[in-house]
Amino acid sequence: MADVAEKAGVSRALVSIVFRNQPGASEETRERVLRVADEIGYRPDSAARLLARGRSRTIGVMFTVHQTFHTDLIEGIYPEAERLGYDVLLSASAQGRSEAKAVEALLGHRCEALILLGSDAEAAYLDELGQRAVTVSVSRRVPRARVDFVHSAEGKGVRQAMDHLVELGHRRIVHIDGGRGPGSADRRRAYRAAMRRHGLEAEVRVIPGEHTEQSGIETGHLLLAERDRGLPLPTAVLAGNDRCAWGLLMVLTRAGLEVPRDLSVVGYDDSHLSHLMPMGLTTVRQDAWLMAEHAVRFAVERLEKPELEPREAVLDPKLVVRGTSGPAPEPSA
């Protein structure tokens, strides 16, 4: 500001008034100061100004690299944060970079609140984190942690998918588990409950997996190896998430199987790539934008009222039927 003031021939205090858009400077002076600032490349440091007041007005978002649904959530977080007057800072967990390291980086940059996308942290860590900073967990609920939660009704989404498959005549329905992934335990329980409800308890099969393409690829190879040994293929697979479903579809189609004629596949998330596939993935849609809006709103409201009790937003999922689900194949003669 001193450089701008010297070149514009005004006081530093007057430059400050112009940058803060406060009354006290003539229109001619205001234009001259802004022109000089532009000429020398000066930009007001809003972050420094906020920190001087003890605020950063920045929300930190922890996400996982390669999780496509997280990019959908982030896309919804930005406009809502901007609408409420907050900046967003991202920090990723990845192979070789733990969630804790990603979170500490956000805190080190003085983020006032944290939004954790698909956290796999233990309850004790989340609880401790909630005492250090305003924290919202998206897609994963941990009852004992005093943080806010935003997630979809996992059981309801799985029930819709299972009812859809059973109505199409499927009986041998396999579920690829999501391991420690967000929502996996609820989806696994809902799958088992749906199979029992439809009288298919004898057909229950949960294959261990993760929320990755590799998990779907490995399951595909497993099912094909079983077929080669004379065991029947399932007629439908409920994957832990869309990424897992994509990996499975890749292996099945390369092996010459036709989806959904030979086997139906259903994912979970309805991430932005689901409808871009050649056949379109049947999947359970989580409303990423609505989840993002709730998360940002929870964070900002708690910043304004720290005494609020932990809150939870449970959003309704919706089955989206596309090209990877169809009638169960006729039994072999």
Neighbours of 126 (CB within 10 A): 20
How is the beta sheet containing 134-138 ordered, strand by strand?
Answer: 87-93, 58-64, 113-117, 134-138, 148-152, 312-315
Residue-wise over 31-44: b if at least 16 C-beta within 10 A, else e?
ebbbebbeeeebee
pLDDT digits (tens, 9 = 90+) for 224-253: 999 999 999 999 999 999 999 999 999 999
Q: What is the pLDDT of residue 143?
A: 80
- Quickly list H helices, 25-183: 27-40, 46-52, 68-83, 99-108, 123-132, 154-167
User: Rounded to 5 degrees, what are φ and ψ at 114?
Assistant: -120, 135
Q: The tokens of 17 are what?
A: 């008034």
The answer to whether the beta carbons of residues 239 and 211 sit under 8 Å apart is no
**DSSP label at 134?**
E
Q: How far apart are CA 113 and CA 61, in angstroms?
A: 9
How is the beta sheet containing 236-238 ordered, strand by strand?
Answer: 206-207, 173-176, 236-238, 264-269, 282-285, 318-320
Which residues, at least 6 apart from 54, have a Cβ–Cβ distance to it below 8 Å? Answer: none
Q: What is the pLDDT of residue 44?
A: 63
pLDDT digits (tens, 9 = 90+) for 263-313: 999 999 998 888 876 789 999 999 999 999 999 999 999 999 999 999 999
**pLDDT 10s digit of each residue in the chain, 333 long?**
788 888 888 888 888 788 777 788 888 888 888 888 888 877 766 555 555 555 789 999 999 998 999 999 999 999 999 999 999 999 999 989 999 999 999 999 999 999 999 998 888 999 999 999 999 999 988 888 889 999 999 999 999 999 999 999 999 999 999 998 999 999 999 999 999 999 999 999 999 999 999 999 999 999 999 999 999 999 999 999 999 999 999 999 999 999 999 999 999 999 888 887 678 999 999 999 999 999 999 999 999 999 999 999 999 999 999 999 999 998 764
Which residues, at least 6 apart from 200, have a Cβ–Cβ distance to it below 8 Å? Answer: 166, 171, 173
Q: The tokens of 264 are what?
A: 């139906």
Question: Which uninterrupted H or E stretch holds 194?
Answer: helix 184-197
The answer to whether the beta carbons of residues 139 and 151 sit under 8 Å apart is yes
